Homo-oligomer: A and B are copies of this chain.
Amino acid sequence: MDYPRTVSTNALRADSARARARMLRAARKLVAAGDLELPMNAIAKAAGVGVGTVYRHFPSRQALLESLAAERLALLVDEAERAAAEPDVAAALARLLRAALEHQLGDPTLAAVLAEPEAARAETRSLSQALTAAVIRLLERAHAAGEIRPEITAEDLQALLCGLQHAVKVRGGTDNDRYLAILLRGLRA
């Protein structure tokens, strides 16, 4: 007897999911246009929903940012896990840092999320934990191999990368490789 109810619930959910997708698309359009402020009212209008609906789906600007960044953050986690498993530690470190830098430059929402000390969404929290865990494993191997100064922690690496991203952005987006090389040289034991 709950079949109709299920169907109607599904219908509601499908609708809700479509609205959510429209909001995310509208937000991405704003980001692509260089606007990271993500005005809730503007998103509501562009997505054809009431403001309250935007707030229901994304209780804060930070939550919205994290939803936008989630996909790329997941890609970065993959990359970090591959790096942690890669035999050549020095190459793995270089590749991971470069990937992290490029993902941040390619998506300003990811840079914003990584610069934030706390996650607003559970998904972000678990992805961040996975990222940190993989970096820690890589770092342990790098320390064991004497590839990197012993006092460098995973948090240091994350902060330094945030900084590097900032430096590259200040200069207009070129120079990634040069600045990356400077960081890698500075990290070496």
Contacts and interface: CB of A to CB of B under 8 A. Distances in A.
Interface string A162-189: 1111111011100100110111111110
Nearest to A161: B167
Quickly give the copy total for this chain: 2
A162 B155 contact: no
A156 interface: yes
A18 B121 CA distance: 49
A94 to B, nearest CB: 13
Give the dominant DSSP class at A's interface.
helix
Nearest to A151: B178
A113 to B, nearest CB: 12
Nearest to A184: B186
**9 closest A-B pairs (Cβ-Cβ)?**
A163-B167, A186-B186, A182-B186, A163-B163, A166-B166, A185-B186, A159-B171, A159-B167, A163-B166
25 contacts: A115-B166, A115-B170, A149-B182, A156-B175, A156-B178, A156-B179, A158-B170, A159-B167, A159-B168, A159-B170, A159-B175, A160-B182, A163-B165, A163-B166, A163-B167, A163-B168, A163-B179, A164-B167, A182-B183, A182-B186, A183-B186, A184-B186, A185-B186, A185-B188, A186-B187
